[in-house]
Amino acid sequence: MQIEGASAVVTGGASGLGEATVRRLHARGARVVILDLDDKKGPQLAAELGEGVLFAKTDVGSEAQVQAAVEQAQALAPLRIAVSCAGIGWAQRTVNKEGIPHDLGFFNTILTVNLVGTFNVLRLSAAAMLKNPALAGGERGVVINTASIAAFDGQIGQLAYAASKAGVVGMTLPAARDLSKGGVRVLTIAPGTFNTPMLALLPEEQRAALASGIPFPPRLGEPDDYAHLVISMVENSYLNGETVRLDGALRMPPK
């Protein structure tokens, strides 16, 4: 599918994987709406990139806010691309060493942002895409979600995060099948260990240790590696209903 002349929404678009995706899409001629809660970095990025890039302060769990951002994108050009990068993490054992069970509130919060928020963006973006005129081959749009290798290799303490990301993986094929007659594709990227602002908080020694465990290339993933895959997925119209690991062949140990 051609990127130039289309509009896109990118959640978590003010930093990390989302920011890299916004930059790549804009460079390829898309008009982009950045959905993020960061009302400092979001407007700064939109101002830097200039015409055709807007910021919408958005909680991905809010139907009204996501719908408003989708409508902003539709006003720029036909909405044909939606990328969900917004997500949060939490580390806690099912039952800790003191016998205290995992906090239910935190579990619900992680699922609300990572899984329910992703679904919210998926359903509202797809509804808009189905109204588009069909392109060659009948395609109307593509939705790309973000899971994690934790969906498959969840480590000790990653119960809530792994469950939320496994849910994103589980949505991919049925959503693609649901939307197939309308020409909307659904895909998921499952990143490994990436050099994002969250990981930047770790000491350099820990970052180097994480990188050394990656088979090849022996480095942390860069946000642009993720954005590059987004572009490839958008342009390859035969790729649908699939989750792609982007991890340098890393398989996470128990801890």
Tokens describing residue 251: 């398989």
Q: How far apart are CA 134 and CA 141, in angstroms?
A: 9
Written as one string, the DSSP assignment of 143-203 is EEEE--THHHHPPTTBHHHHHHHHHHHHHHHHHHHHHGGGTEEEEEEEE-SB--TTGGGS-
Spell out the residues 6+ positions from residue 79 whose beta carbon is closer than 8 angstroms to its own: 6, 7, 8, 9, 70, 73, 125, 128, 129, 132, 141
Q: With CA atoms as reference, report the closest residue to 58 among 124, 140, 129, 103.
A: 124
Q: Residue count of the chain, please give it.
A: 255
Tokens describing residue 214: 């990656």
Tokens describing residue 92: 């806690």
Give me the phi and psi of 80, to 5 degrees please: -125, -5
Catalytic residue among 90, 107, 161, 226: 161
Query: Across the strands, what pairs with 79?
Result: 7
Residues 125 and 70: beta-carbon distance below 8 Å: yes
Longest dimension (CA), the chain: 60
- At residue 73, what is the residue type? A
Whether 161 is catalytic is yes
- The residues annotated as belonging to the active site are 161
